[in-house]
Structure 1
Amino acid sequence: MKFQEALIPARTKDMFLLKLYHSQVKPGKRQNRRHHHTEFEIALFKSGSGTYTVGDTAYAIQPGDIFLFSTHEVHCITEIHEGEDMLLLNVHFEPRFIWSTGNDLFDAKYLKIFFERNDAFENRLDRQNPATAVIRSLILQMEDEFAKQLPEYELMVKIQLLTILVTVSRHYDYVSRESSRPAVHVKSLSQIEDAIHYIHDHLDSDLSLDDLAKAANMSRSYFSTIFKRLNGISPWDYITIKRIEQSIEYLESTDSSILEIACRCGFNNTANFNRAFKKITGKTPSEYR
Protein backbone atom coordinates (compact mmCIF):
# COMPACT_ATOMS: atom_id res chain seq x y z
CA MET A 1 0.00 0.00 0.00
CA LYS A 2 1.41 3.38 -0.97
CA PHE A 3 0.57 6.62 0.78
CA GLN A 4 0.91 10.22 -0.34
CA GLU A 5 -0.20 12.42 2.51
CA ALA A 6 -1.24 16.03 2.75
CA LEU A 7 -2.06 17.43 6.18
CA ILE A 8 -3.70 20.36 7.88
CA PRO A 9 -1.85 20.27 11.21
CA ALA A 10 -3.37 20.70 14.64
CA ARG A 11 -2.07 23.03 17.30
CA THR A 12 -0.72 20.02 19.18
CA LYS A 13 2.61 18.69 17.93
CA ASP A 14 2.51 15.71 15.56
CA MET A 15 -1.30 15.76 15.30
CA PHE A 16 -3.52 16.73 12.39
CA LEU A 17 -7.01 18.08 11.88
CA LEU A 18 -7.42 16.80 8.32
CA LYS A 19 -5.39 14.32 6.29
CA LEU A 20 -5.81 13.52 2.61
CA TYR A 21 -3.93 10.51 1.25
CA HIS A 22 -3.93 8.03 -1.61
CA SER A 23 -3.87 4.24 -1.24
CA GLN A 24 -2.99 1.77 -4.00
CA VAL A 25 -3.68 -1.90 -3.30
CA LYS A 26 -3.08 -5.02 -5.41
CA PRO A 27 -5.91 -7.45 -6.27
CA GLY A 28 -6.64 -10.36 -3.93
CA LYS A 29 -8.61 -11.40 -0.86
CA ARG A 30 -7.74 -9.67 2.40
CA GLN A 31 -8.28 -10.50 6.05
CA ASN A 32 -11.28 -8.76 7.61
CA ARG A 33 -9.26 -6.78 10.13
CA ARG A 34 -10.85 -4.50 12.70
CA HIS A 35 -10.01 -0.93 11.81
CA HIS A 36 -10.79 2.01 14.09
CA HIS A 37 -9.76 5.64 14.23
CA THR A 38 -10.86 8.81 15.97
CA GLU A 39 -11.38 10.71 12.72
CA PHE A 40 -14.34 10.73 10.39
CA GLU A 41 -13.55 9.30 6.95
CA ILE A 42 -14.70 10.01 3.40
CA ALA A 43 -13.31 7.59 0.80
CA LEU A 44 -13.48 8.01 -2.99
CA PHE A 45 -12.60 4.99 -5.14
CA LYS A 46 -10.80 6.02 -8.32
CA SER A 47 -10.18 2.57 -9.83
CA GLY A 48 -10.59 -1.12 -9.09
CA SER A 49 -13.53 -3.15 -7.81
CA GLY A 50 -14.12 -5.42 -4.86
CA THR A 51 -15.87 -5.63 -1.51
CA TYR A 52 -15.96 -3.26 1.46
CA THR A 53 -17.11 -4.95 4.68
CA VAL A 54 -18.62 -2.61 7.27
CA GLY A 55 -19.67 -4.46 10.39
CA ASP A 56 -22.00 -7.20 9.10
CA THR A 57 -22.70 -5.48 5.75
CA ALA A 58 -20.75 -6.16 2.54
CA TYR A 59 -20.79 -3.41 -0.11
CA ALA A 60 -19.70 -3.90 -3.71
CA ILE A 61 -17.07 -1.36 -4.79
CA GLN A 62 -16.75 0.20 -8.23
CA PRO A 63 -14.88 3.29 -9.49
CA GLY A 64 -16.59 6.50 -8.44
CA ASP A 65 -18.07 5.07 -5.23
CA ILE A 66 -17.95 7.24 -2.11
CA PHE A 67 -18.11 5.85 1.43
CA LEU A 68 -18.65 7.63 4.75
CA PHE A 69 -17.43 6.31 8.10
CA SER A 70 -17.93 7.67 11.58
CA THR A 71 -15.46 7.44 14.44
CA HIS A 72 -14.91 3.94 15.79
CA GLU A 73 -16.94 2.38 12.96
CA VAL A 74 -15.39 -0.96 11.97
CA HIS A 75 -14.64 -1.18 8.23
CA CYS A 76 -12.24 -3.08 5.98
CA ILE A 77 -11.71 -3.74 2.26
CA THR A 78 -11.91 -7.54 2.22
CA GLU A 79 -11.51 -8.29 -1.48
CA ILE A 80 -10.08 -6.60 -4.57
CA HIS A 81 -11.08 -8.21 -7.86
CA GLU A 82 -8.53 -9.25 -10.43
CA GLY A 83 -7.66 -6.64 -13.03
CA GLU A 84 -6.43 -3.16 -12.21
CA ASP A 85 -5.10 -2.10 -8.81
CA MET A 86 -7.51 -0.44 -6.44
CA LEU A 87 -6.75 3.27 -6.08
CA LEU A 88 -8.62 5.30 -3.51
CA LEU A 89 -8.49 8.79 -2.11
CA ASN A 90 -9.13 9.05 1.64
CA VAL A 91 -10.04 12.13 3.64
CA HIS A 92 -9.72 11.76 7.42
CA PHE A 93 -10.71 14.66 9.64
CA GLU A 94 -11.07 15.21 13.36
CA PRO A 95 -14.58 16.28 14.46
CA ARG A 96 -13.07 19.42 15.99
CA PHE A 97 -11.95 20.50 12.52
CA ILE A 98 -15.62 21.40 12.12
CA TRP A 99 -16.76 22.36 15.63
CA SER A 100 -13.66 24.18 16.92
CA THR A 101 -14.58 27.58 18.37
CA GLY A 102 -11.94 29.30 16.27
CA ASN A 103 -14.24 29.04 13.26
CA ASP A 104 -17.44 31.08 13.53
CA LEU A 105 -19.05 29.56 10.44
CA PHE A 106 -18.59 25.97 11.57
CA ASP A 107 -20.64 24.05 14.07
CA ALA A 108 -21.21 20.51 15.34
CA LYS A 109 -24.64 20.50 13.69
CA TYR A 110 -22.96 19.90 10.33
CA LEU A 111 -21.82 16.47 11.56
CA LYS A 112 -25.34 15.00 11.71
CA ILE A 113 -24.56 12.45 9.00
CA PHE A 114 -22.07 10.84 11.39
CA PHE A 115 -24.15 11.08 14.58
CA GLU A 116 -27.85 11.14 13.69
CA ARG A 117 -28.39 8.51 11.00
CA ASN A 118 -31.77 7.00 10.26
CA ASP A 119 -32.59 3.46 9.14
CA ALA A 120 -32.14 4.37 5.46
CA PHE A 121 -28.45 5.23 5.92
CA GLU A 122 -25.83 3.29 3.96
CA ASN A 123 -22.08 3.84 4.14
CA ARG A 124 -21.85 3.87 0.34
CA LEU A 125 -23.56 6.95 -1.07
CA ASP A 126 -26.35 6.19 -3.53
CA ARG A 127 -24.72 5.83 -6.95
CA GLN A 128 -27.86 7.05 -8.75
CA ASN A 129 -28.26 10.23 -6.71
CA PRO A 130 -27.06 13.25 -8.77
CA ALA A 131 -25.55 14.72 -5.59
CA THR A 132 -22.97 11.89 -5.53
CA ALA A 133 -21.31 13.37 -8.64
CA VAL A 134 -21.25 16.77 -6.92
CA ILE A 135 -19.56 15.30 -3.85
CA ARG A 136 -17.09 13.42 -6.03
CA SER A 137 -16.13 16.70 -7.69
CA LEU A 138 -15.70 18.42 -4.32
CA ILE A 139 -13.35 15.68 -3.09
CA LEU A 140 -11.22 16.06 -6.22
CA GLN A 141 -11.19 19.83 -5.69
CA MET A 142 -9.82 19.22 -2.18
CA GLU A 143 -7.12 17.06 -3.70
CA ASP A 144 -6.28 19.87 -6.14
CA GLU A 145 -6.10 22.45 -3.33
CA PHE A 146 -3.53 20.34 -1.50
CA ALA A 147 -1.53 19.81 -4.69
CA LYS A 148 -1.33 23.54 -5.58
CA GLN A 149 -1.33 25.02 -2.04
CA LEU A 150 -2.39 28.45 -3.18
CA PRO A 151 -2.84 31.14 -0.48
CA GLU A 152 -5.51 30.18 2.10
CA TYR A 153 -5.84 26.67 0.68
CA GLU A 154 -6.53 25.31 4.19
CA LEU A 155 -9.65 27.49 4.44
CA MET A 156 -10.76 26.43 0.96
CA VAL A 157 -10.39 22.75 1.92
CA LYS A 158 -12.54 23.38 5.00
CA ILE A 159 -15.19 25.13 2.90
CA GLN A 160 -15.25 22.22 0.44
CA LEU A 161 -15.57 19.72 3.27
CA LEU A 162 -18.41 21.68 4.82
CA THR A 163 -20.12 21.81 1.41
CA ILE A 164 -19.88 18.02 1.21
CA LEU A 165 -21.49 17.60 4.63
CA VAL A 166 -24.33 20.01 3.82
CA THR A 167 -24.90 18.33 0.43
CA VAL A 168 -25.23 14.92 2.11
CA SER A 169 -27.67 16.35 4.63
CA ARG A 170 -29.80 18.01 1.93
CA HIS A 171 -29.89 15.42 -0.83
CA TYR A 172 -29.87 12.01 0.89
CA ASP A 173 -32.50 10.67 3.24
CA TYR A 174 -29.84 9.46 5.66
CA VAL A 175 -30.22 11.85 8.60
CA SER A 176 -32.80 11.49 11.33
CA ARG A 177 -35.21 14.42 11.39
CA GLU A 178 -36.27 13.69 14.95
CA SER A 179 -33.05 14.48 16.76
CA SER A 180 -33.17 14.92 20.51
CA ARG A 181 -29.57 16.06 20.76
CA PRO A 182 -29.44 19.47 22.44
CA ALA A 183 -27.11 22.15 21.14
CA VAL A 184 -23.69 22.40 22.78
CA HIS A 185 -22.84 25.79 24.25
CA VAL A 186 -19.93 27.53 22.51
CA LYS A 187 -18.02 27.72 25.81
CA SER A 188 -18.20 23.92 26.09
CA LEU A 189 -16.60 23.56 22.64
CA SER A 190 -13.56 25.49 23.80
CA GLN A 191 -13.40 23.51 27.04
CA ILE A 192 -13.50 20.15 25.26
CA GLU A 193 -10.78 21.32 22.87
CA ASP A 194 -8.63 22.24 25.89
CA ALA A 195 -9.11 18.70 27.21
CA ILE A 196 -8.12 17.21 23.84
CA HIS A 197 -4.90 19.22 23.87
CA TYR A 198 -4.29 18.00 27.42
CA ILE A 199 -4.76 14.39 26.28
CA HIS A 200 -2.24 14.73 23.46
CA ASP A 201 0.30 16.40 25.75
CA HIS A 202 0.02 13.58 28.32
CA LEU A 203 -0.47 10.40 26.27
CA ASP A 204 2.59 8.85 27.93
CA SER A 205 1.30 9.60 31.44
CA ASP A 206 -1.42 8.23 33.69
CA LEU A 207 -4.66 9.96 32.76
CA SER A 208 -7.79 10.00 34.86
CA LEU A 209 -11.28 11.27 34.22
CA ASP A 210 -10.69 13.78 37.02
CA ASP A 211 -7.63 15.12 35.15
CA LEU A 212 -9.58 15.55 31.92
CA ALA A 213 -12.61 17.10 33.58
CA LYS A 214 -10.32 19.53 35.39
CA ALA A 215 -8.58 20.46 32.13
CA ALA A 216 -12.02 21.17 30.65
CA ASN A 217 -13.26 22.91 33.80
CA MET A 218 -16.30 20.64 33.84
CA SER A 219 -17.79 18.01 36.11
CA ARG A 220 -16.81 14.42 35.32
CA SER A 221 -20.25 13.37 34.09
CA TYR A 222 -20.87 16.51 32.01
CA PHE A 223 -17.40 16.27 30.45
CA SER A 224 -17.95 12.63 29.41
CA THR A 225 -21.35 13.42 27.92
CA ILE A 226 -20.22 16.44 25.90
CA PHE A 227 -16.98 14.78 24.76
CA LYS A 228 -18.86 11.82 23.28
CA ARG A 229 -21.52 14.07 21.76
CA LEU A 230 -18.87 16.06 19.88
CA ASN A 231 -16.47 13.24 18.96
CA GLY A 232 -18.63 10.15 18.63
CA ILE A 233 -16.54 8.12 21.09
CA SER A 234 -15.86 8.18 24.82
CA PRO A 235 -12.77 9.92 26.24
CA TRP A 236 -11.22 6.52 27.06
CA ASP A 237 -11.74 5.15 23.57
CA TYR A 238 -10.23 8.35 22.17
CA ILE A 239 -7.17 8.04 24.44
CA THR A 240 -6.69 4.36 23.63
CA ILE A 241 -6.81 4.89 19.86
CA LYS A 242 -4.38 7.81 20.03
CA ARG A 243 -1.98 5.77 22.16
CA ILE A 244 -2.14 2.87 19.72
CA GLU A 245 -1.52 5.23 16.78
CA GLN A 246 1.54 6.55 18.61
CA SER A 247 2.75 3.02 19.34
CA ILE A 248 2.47 2.11 15.64
CA GLU A 249 4.88 4.95 14.84
CA TYR A 250 7.38 3.52 17.35
CA LEU A 251 6.93 -0.03 16.01
CA GLU A 252 7.65 1.17 12.49
CA SER A 253 10.49 3.58 13.24
CA THR A 254 12.40 2.11 16.21
CA ASP A 255 13.86 -1.16 17.48
CA SER A 256 12.47 -0.60 20.98
CA SER A 257 11.01 -3.60 22.78
CA ILE A 258 7.27 -4.09 23.06
CA LEU A 259 7.47 -3.30 26.79
CA GLU A 260 9.41 -0.08 26.14
CA ILE A 261 6.88 1.05 23.55
CA ALA A 262 3.98 0.17 25.85
CA CYS A 263 5.43 2.33 28.63
CA ARG A 264 6.20 5.21 26.26
CA CYS A 265 2.56 5.18 25.14
CA GLY A 266 0.97 5.24 28.58
CA PHE A 267 0.32 1.51 29.14
CA ASN A 268 1.45 0.10 32.47
CA ASN A 269 2.07 -3.46 31.21
CA THR A 270 2.34 -5.43 27.99
CA ALA A 271 -0.87 -7.39 28.63
CA ASN A 272 -2.99 -4.22 28.58
CA PHE A 273 -1.02 -2.92 25.60
CA ASN A 274 -1.47 -6.15 23.61
CA ARG A 275 -5.19 -6.27 24.41
CA ALA A 276 -5.77 -2.65 23.35
CA PHE A 277 -3.57 -2.96 20.25
CA LYS A 278 -5.46 -6.01 18.97
CA LYS A 279 -8.82 -4.39 19.68
CA ILE A 280 -7.89 -1.37 17.55
CA THR A 281 -5.83 -2.97 14.76
CA GLY A 282 -6.84 -6.65 14.72
CA LYS A 283 -3.24 -7.71 15.35
CA THR A 284 -0.87 -7.93 18.31
CA PRO A 285 2.11 -5.53 18.35
CA SER A 286 4.45 -8.39 17.49
CA GLU A 287 2.30 -9.47 14.53
CA TYR A 288 2.13 -5.89 13.31
CA ARG A 289 5.90 -5.47 13.50
Structure 2
Amino acid sequence: MDPLRKHFDPDTSIPIELVLHSTKNLQSELPDHLHDWHEIIYVHSGTGSFFINHSFYEMQAGDLYLIPGNTIHRTLPHSEEPITSSAMFFSGQYIQSTSIGKDAYSFLRCFDLAKSERHYRIELLAAERVRIESLIDEMNEEVRMRQPGCKQAVLLLLQTVLLHTNRKMSTGEPKQQHGSNHPQWLQSALEFIDARLVENISLSMLASRAAVSTSYFSRMFKQLTGINVTDYIIAKRIMHAKELIGSTDHTIAEIANQCGFESLPHFYRMFKKLSGTTPAHYKRVDDRHL
Protein backbone atom coordinates (compact mmCIF):
# COMPACT_ATOMS: atom_id res chain seq x y z
CA MET A 1 0.00 0.00 0.00
CA ASP A 2 1.53 3.29 -0.99
CA PRO A 3 -0.78 6.28 -1.46
CA LEU A 4 1.86 9.00 -1.54
CA ARG A 5 1.44 11.45 1.27
CA LYS A 6 2.73 14.95 0.70
CA HIS A 7 4.75 16.02 3.71
CA PHE A 8 4.60 19.48 5.26
CA ASP A 9 6.39 20.94 8.23
CA PRO A 10 3.64 21.78 10.77
CA ASP A 11 6.03 23.83 12.90
CA THR A 12 6.87 26.50 10.32
CA SER A 13 6.09 30.06 11.40
CA ILE A 14 3.59 30.41 8.55
CA PRO A 15 2.32 26.97 7.43
CA ILE A 16 1.88 27.74 3.73
CA GLU A 17 3.66 26.09 0.79
CA LEU A 18 3.52 27.34 -2.79
CA VAL A 19 4.30 25.48 -6.03
CA LEU A 20 3.74 28.16 -8.66
CA HIS A 21 3.74 27.90 -12.47
CA SER A 22 4.77 24.23 -12.39
CA THR A 23 4.44 22.07 -15.52
CA LYS A 24 3.31 18.51 -14.91
CA ASN A 25 3.89 15.51 -17.14
CA LEU A 26 3.28 11.79 -16.77
CA GLN A 27 6.77 11.24 -15.38
CA SER A 28 6.80 14.04 -12.79
CA GLU A 29 3.28 13.82 -11.39
CA LEU A 30 2.69 11.83 -8.19
CA PRO A 31 0.19 8.98 -8.62
CA ASP A 32 -2.00 10.39 -5.88
CA HIS A 33 -1.88 12.75 -2.91
CA LEU A 34 -3.30 12.49 0.57
CA HIS A 35 -2.51 15.20 3.11
CA ASP A 36 -4.16 17.16 5.93
CA TRP A 37 -3.51 20.61 4.52
CA HIS A 38 -6.01 22.36 2.25
CA GLU A 39 -4.99 22.90 -1.37
CA ILE A 40 -5.97 25.28 -4.17
CA ILE A 41 -4.92 24.48 -7.74
CA TYR A 42 -5.20 26.96 -10.58
CA VAL A 43 -4.69 25.72 -14.15
CA HIS A 44 -2.75 28.14 -16.36
CA SER A 45 -2.66 25.95 -19.47
CA GLY A 46 -2.79 22.38 -20.75
CA THR A 47 -5.25 19.55 -20.30
CA GLY A 48 -5.56 16.46 -18.15
CA SER A 49 -7.81 14.35 -15.98
CA PHE A 50 -8.30 15.05 -12.29
CA PHE A 51 -9.69 12.63 -9.71
CA ILE A 52 -10.79 14.21 -6.41
CA ASN A 53 -12.34 12.04 -3.70
CA HIS A 54 -15.13 10.52 -5.82
CA SER A 55 -15.32 12.93 -8.74
CA PHE A 56 -13.61 13.11 -12.14
CA TYR A 57 -12.86 16.28 -14.09
CA GLU A 58 -11.29 17.19 -17.40
CA MET A 59 -8.87 19.99 -16.55
CA GLN A 60 -8.56 23.08 -18.72
CA ALA A 61 -7.07 26.55 -18.52
CA GLY A 62 -8.94 28.81 -16.11
CA ASP A 63 -10.09 26.02 -13.79
CA LEU A 64 -9.72 26.51 -10.03
CA TYR A 65 -9.84 23.39 -7.86
CA LEU A 66 -10.52 23.30 -4.12
CA ILE A 67 -9.17 20.25 -2.32
CA PRO A 68 -10.12 20.05 1.37
CA GLY A 69 -7.59 18.50 3.72
CA ASN A 70 -7.72 14.74 4.11
CA THR A 71 -8.95 14.16 0.54
CA ILE A 72 -7.59 11.66 -1.99
CA HIS A 73 -6.76 13.31 -5.30
CA ARG A 74 -4.71 12.56 -8.37
CA THR A 75 -3.93 14.30 -11.66
CA LEU A 76 -3.16 12.61 -14.96
CA PRO A 77 -1.76 15.19 -17.42
CA HIS A 78 -2.35 14.56 -21.10
CA SER A 79 0.88 13.67 -22.87
CA GLU A 80 0.50 16.19 -25.72
CA GLU A 81 -0.69 19.14 -23.62
CA PRO A 82 0.96 18.95 -20.17
CA ILE A 83 -0.67 20.89 -17.37
CA THR A 84 0.96 24.09 -16.10
CA SER A 85 -0.58 24.98 -12.76
CA SER A 86 -0.05 26.77 -9.49
CA ALA A 87 -0.74 24.99 -6.20
CA MET A 88 -1.21 26.63 -2.80
CA PHE A 89 -1.04 24.33 0.25
CA PHE A 90 -1.88 25.61 3.71
CA SER A 91 -3.03 24.72 7.21
CA GLY A 92 -6.74 25.42 7.52
CA GLN A 93 -6.49 26.12 11.25
CA TYR A 94 -3.79 28.73 10.68
CA ILE A 95 -5.61 30.55 7.89
CA GLN A 96 -8.77 30.80 9.98
CA SER A 97 -7.09 31.69 13.27
CA THR A 98 -5.38 34.70 11.70
CA SER A 99 -8.61 36.25 10.44
CA ILE A 100 -10.01 39.40 11.99
CA GLY A 101 -12.72 38.35 14.42
CA LYS A 102 -12.04 34.61 14.45
CA ASP A 103 -15.69 33.56 14.31
CA ALA A 104 -16.93 36.45 12.19
CA TYR A 105 -15.78 35.21 8.79
CA SER A 106 -14.72 31.81 7.48
CA PHE A 107 -12.02 31.87 4.83
CA LEU A 108 -12.60 28.11 4.52
CA ARG A 109 -16.29 28.33 3.61
CA CYS A 110 -15.50 27.54 -0.03
CA PHE A 111 -13.90 24.24 1.01
CA ASP A 112 -16.88 23.36 3.19
CA LEU A 113 -19.21 24.01 0.26
CA ALA A 114 -17.05 22.00 -2.14
CA LYS A 115 -17.06 19.05 0.24
CA SER A 116 -20.79 19.17 1.06
CA GLU A 117 -21.78 19.60 -2.60
CA ARG A 118 -19.18 17.10 -3.82
CA HIS A 119 -18.08 19.56 -6.47
CA TYR A 120 -14.48 20.77 -6.36
CA ARG A 121 -14.07 22.78 -9.57
CA ILE A 122 -14.76 26.46 -10.21
CA GLU A 123 -14.65 27.69 -13.79
CA LEU A 124 -13.45 31.29 -13.76
CA LEU A 125 -14.53 34.05 -16.10
CA ALA A 126 -11.90 36.03 -18.04
CA ALA A 127 -11.77 38.91 -15.52
CA GLU A 128 -11.59 36.44 -12.61
CA ARG A 129 -8.70 34.62 -14.28
CA VAL A 130 -6.78 37.89 -14.66
CA ARG A 131 -7.34 38.68 -10.98
CA ILE A 132 -6.17 35.33 -9.60
CA GLU A 133 -3.20 35.19 -11.98
CA SER A 134 -2.20 38.63 -10.71
CA LEU A 135 -2.41 37.43 -7.09
CA ILE A 136 -0.34 34.34 -7.95
CA ASP A 137 2.27 36.51 -9.67
CA GLU A 138 2.43 38.72 -6.56
CA MET A 139 2.96 35.63 -4.38
CA ASN A 140 5.70 34.46 -6.72
CA GLU A 141 7.40 37.86 -6.56
CA GLU A 142 7.22 37.94 -2.75
CA VAL A 143 8.84 34.50 -2.56
CA ARG A 144 11.51 35.51 -5.10
CA MET A 145 12.43 38.83 -3.50
CA ARG A 146 12.24 37.62 0.14
CA GLN A 147 11.89 41.15 1.50
CA PRO A 148 11.00 41.72 5.18
CA GLY A 149 7.41 40.66 5.78
CA CYS A 150 7.28 38.40 2.70
CA LYS A 151 5.64 35.54 4.61
CA GLN A 152 2.95 37.83 5.96
CA ALA A 153 2.46 39.23 2.44
CA VAL A 154 1.96 35.71 1.04
CA LEU A 155 -0.57 34.99 3.80
CA LEU A 156 -2.55 38.14 2.97
CA LEU A 157 -2.51 37.32 -0.75
CA LEU A 158 -3.72 33.78 -0.06
CA GLN A 159 -6.52 35.09 2.14
CA THR A 160 -7.46 37.42 -0.72
CA VAL A 161 -7.68 34.43 -3.07
CA LEU A 162 -9.96 32.69 -0.55
CA LEU A 163 -12.08 35.82 -0.11
CA HIS A 164 -12.73 36.08 -3.87
CA THR A 165 -13.35 32.32 -4.09
CA ASN A 166 -15.94 32.50 -1.31
CA ARG A 167 -17.70 35.34 -3.10
CA LYS A 168 -17.61 33.45 -6.39
CA MET A 169 -19.23 30.40 -4.81
CA SER A 170 -21.89 32.56 -3.16
CA THR A 171 -23.23 33.81 -6.50
CA GLY A 172 -25.21 30.62 -7.07
CA GLU A 173 -23.85 30.13 -10.60
CA PRO A 174 -24.77 26.73 -12.11
CA LYS A 175 -22.04 24.09 -11.89
CA GLN A 176 -21.18 21.97 -14.87
CA GLN A 177 -21.37 18.23 -14.43
CA HIS A 178 -18.16 16.27 -14.03
CA GLY A 179 -16.95 12.89 -15.17
CA SER A 180 -19.05 12.43 -18.30
CA ASN A 181 -16.29 10.48 -20.06
CA HIS A 182 -15.58 8.12 -17.18
CA PRO A 183 -17.47 4.85 -16.71
CA GLN A 184 -20.65 5.17 -14.67
CA TRP A 185 -19.97 1.86 -12.94
CA LEU A 186 -16.80 3.35 -11.44
CA GLN A 187 -18.66 6.41 -10.14
CA SER A 188 -21.26 4.06 -8.65
CA ALA A 189 -18.54 1.94 -7.04
CA LEU A 190 -16.92 4.98 -5.41
CA GLU A 191 -20.25 6.08 -3.96
CA PHE A 192 -20.94 2.50 -2.79
CA ILE A 193 -17.61 2.40 -0.95
CA ASP A 194 -18.25 5.77 0.70
CA ALA A 195 -21.64 4.63 1.99
CA ARG A 196 -20.44 1.28 3.36
CA LEU A 197 -17.00 1.85 4.85
CA VAL A 198 -17.88 -0.09 8.00
CA GLU A 199 -18.88 -3.18 5.99
CA ASN A 200 -16.72 -5.90 4.47
CA ILE A 201 -16.23 -4.67 0.89
CA SER A 202 -14.52 -7.05 -1.50
CA LEU A 203 -13.22 -6.67 -5.05
CA SER A 204 -15.50 -9.46 -6.23
CA MET A 205 -18.54 -7.69 -4.71
CA LEU A 206 -17.68 -4.42 -6.46
CA ALA A 207 -17.00 -6.12 -9.79
CA SER A 208 -20.25 -8.06 -9.57
CA ARG A 209 -22.24 -4.86 -8.95
CA ALA A 210 -20.50 -3.25 -11.94
CA ALA A 211 -21.15 -6.32 -14.13
CA VAL A 212 -17.50 -6.54 -15.16
CA SER A 213 -14.74 -9.05 -14.40
CA THR A 214 -12.64 -8.60 -11.27
CA SER A 215 -9.46 -8.20 -13.34
CA TYR A 216 -11.02 -5.48 -15.52
CA PHE A 217 -12.47 -3.67 -12.51
CA SER A 218 -9.15 -3.77 -10.68
CA ARG A 219 -7.16 -2.59 -13.71
CA MET A 220 -9.50 0.29 -14.58
CA PHE A 221 -9.88 1.39 -10.94
CA LYS A 222 -6.11 1.67 -10.55
CA GLN A 223 -5.71 3.38 -13.93
CA LEU A 224 -8.31 6.08 -13.23
CA THR A 225 -7.82 6.72 -9.51
CA GLY A 226 -4.10 5.98 -9.15
CA ILE A 227 -4.63 3.54 -6.28
CA ASN A 228 -5.77 -0.08 -6.09
CA VAL A 229 -9.15 -1.04 -4.65
CA THR A 230 -8.00 -2.41 -1.29
CA ASP A 231 -5.67 0.52 -0.61
CA TYR A 232 -8.38 2.99 -1.60
CA ILE A 233 -10.86 1.46 0.87
CA ILE A 234 -8.30 1.54 3.67
CA ALA A 235 -7.38 5.17 2.86
CA LYS A 236 -11.05 6.20 2.94
CA ARG A 237 -11.48 4.45 6.31
CA ILE A 238 -8.48 6.28 7.74
CA MET A 239 -9.81 9.59 6.39
CA HIS A 240 -13.12 8.90 8.11
CA ALA A 241 -11.27 8.00 11.32
CA LYS A 242 -9.49 11.37 11.25
CA GLU A 243 -12.85 13.13 10.95
CA LEU A 244 -14.21 11.19 13.93
CA ILE A 245 -11.10 11.90 16.00
CA GLY A 246 -11.56 15.61 15.38
CA SER A 247 -15.33 15.75 15.89
CA THR A 248 -16.20 13.19 18.60
CA ASP A 249 -15.09 12.06 22.05
CA HIS A 250 -15.10 8.39 21.07
CA THR A 251 -12.17 6.22 22.10
CA ILE A 252 -9.62 5.10 19.51
CA ALA A 253 -10.99 1.55 19.76
CA GLU A 254 -14.55 2.76 19.12
CA ILE A 255 -13.42 4.80 16.13
CA ALA A 256 -11.51 1.86 14.66
CA ASN A 257 -14.64 -0.27 14.90
CA GLN A 258 -16.84 2.47 13.40
CA CYS A 259 -14.48 2.69 10.42
CA GLY A 260 -14.58 -1.01 9.59
CA PHE A 261 -11.34 -2.20 11.20
CA GLU A 262 -11.83 -5.55 12.97
CA SER A 263 -8.37 -5.42 14.53
CA LEU A 264 -7.10 -2.48 16.59
CA PRO A 265 -3.42 -3.28 15.81
CA HIS A 266 -4.25 -3.26 12.09
CA PHE A 267 -5.96 0.12 12.49
CA TYR A 268 -2.88 1.52 14.26
CA ARG A 269 -0.55 0.18 11.54
CA MET A 270 -2.61 1.62 8.69
CA PHE A 271 -3.14 4.97 10.45
CA LYS A 272 0.60 5.33 11.04
CA LYS A 273 1.39 4.33 7.46
CA LEU A 274 -1.00 6.83 5.92
CA SER A 275 -0.70 9.68 8.44
CA GLY A 276 2.87 9.37 9.62
CA THR A 277 1.72 9.42 13.23
CA THR A 278 -0.38 7.41 15.68
CA PRO A 279 -4.10 8.05 16.28
CA ALA A 280 -3.38 9.22 19.83
CA HIS A 281 -0.76 11.73 18.70
CA TYR A 282 -3.02 12.94 15.90
CA LYS A 283 -5.77 13.56 18.46
CA ARG A 284 -3.42 15.53 20.74
CA VAL A 285 -2.31 17.75 17.86
CA ASP A 286 -5.92 18.25 16.74
CA ASP A 287 -6.95 19.19 20.29
CA ARG A 288 -4.25 21.88 20.44
CA HIS A 289 -5.71 23.51 17.34
CA LEU A 290 -9.21 23.79 18.78
Query: Structure 2-normalised TM-score?
Result: 0.51
Partner amino acid, structure 2, of 1:276: F
The one-character-per-residue Cα deviations of 1:131-186 (angstroms, maximum 9, x if unpaired) are: 243223212221221111122112211211111111112233378xxxxxxxxxxx
Partner amino acid, structure 2, of 1:73: T
Q: Are residues 1:156 and 2:153 paired?
A: yes
Q: Are residues 1:147 and 2:148 paired?
A: no
Q: Which residue of 1 aligns with 2:190?
A: none
* Distance in 1 separating the partners of 2:126 and 2:271: 40
- CA, structure 1 residues 24+128, in 2 after alignment: closer, same or farther (shift >3 Å)? closer
* Distance in 2 separating the partners of 1:234 and 1:149: 40
* Aligned pair partner of 1:46 in 44, 47, 68: 44
Partner amino acid, structure 1, of 2:69: T
Matches within 5 A, 1:76-87: 76-77=74-75, 79-87=76-84
Q: Is the 8 A contact 1:131 1:171 kept in 2?
A: no
* Aligned pair partner of 1:276 in 271, 275, 282: 271
Q: Which residue of 1 aligns with 2:258?
A: none
- 1:51 deviation in Å? 0.5
Q: Are residues 1:59 and 2:57 paired?
A: yes
Q: Secondary structure at the match of 1:83?
A: coil
* Distance in 1 separating the partners of 2:114 and 2:81: 34
* Distance in 2 separating the partners of 1:233 and 1:130: 37
- CA, structure 1 residues 129+120, in 2 after alignment: closer, same or farther (shift >3 Å)? farther
- 1:280 deviation in Å? 5.9
- CA, structure 1 residues 76+15, in 2 after alignment: closer, same or farther (shift >3 Å)? farther
- CA, structure 1 residues 152+233, in 2 after alignment: closer, same or farther (shift >3 Å)? farther
Partner amino acid, structure 1, of 2:153: M
Q: Which residue of 2 aligns with 1:182?
A: none
More off after superposition, 56-65 vs 111-120: 111-120
Q: Which residue of 2 aligns with 1:169?
A: 166
Matches within 5 A, 1:1-289: 12=11, 17-22=15-20, 23-27=22-26, 33=32, 35-77=33-75, 79-100=76-97, 104=100, 109-117=106-114, 122-128=119-125, 130-173=127-170, 233-235=243-245, 271-272=266-267, 274-276=269-271
- CA, structure 1 residues 32+26, in 2 after alignment: closer, same or farther (shift >3 Å)? closer
* Distance in 1 separating the partners of 2:117 and 2:267: 38
The one-character-per-residue Cα deviations of 1:206-236 (angstroms, maximum 9, x if unpaired) are: xxxxxxxxxxxxxxxxxxxxxxxxxx94546
More off after superposition, 38-47 vs 125-134: 125-134
* Distance in 1 separating the partners of 2:15 and 2:47: 30
Q: Is the 8 A contact 1:113 1:174 kept in 2?
A: no
Partner amino acid, structure 1, of 2:51: T
The one-character-per-residue Cα deviations of 1:55-94 (angstroms, maximum 9, x if unpaired) are: 23211112342211111222211x2212244332211110
- 1:110 deviation in Å? 2.1
- Please, which runs of 5 or more residues in structure 2 have no aligned partner? 1-7, 173-241, 248-263, 277-290
- 1:275 deviation in Å? 2.0
* Distance in 2 separating the partners of 1:140 and 1:121: 30
- CA, structure 1 residues 21+80, in 2 after alignment: closer, same or farther (shift >3 Å)? same
Q: Is the 8 A contact 2:62 2:123 kept in 1?
A: no
* Distance in 1 separating the partners of 2:138 and 2:243: 30
Q: CA RMSD in A?
A: 3.8
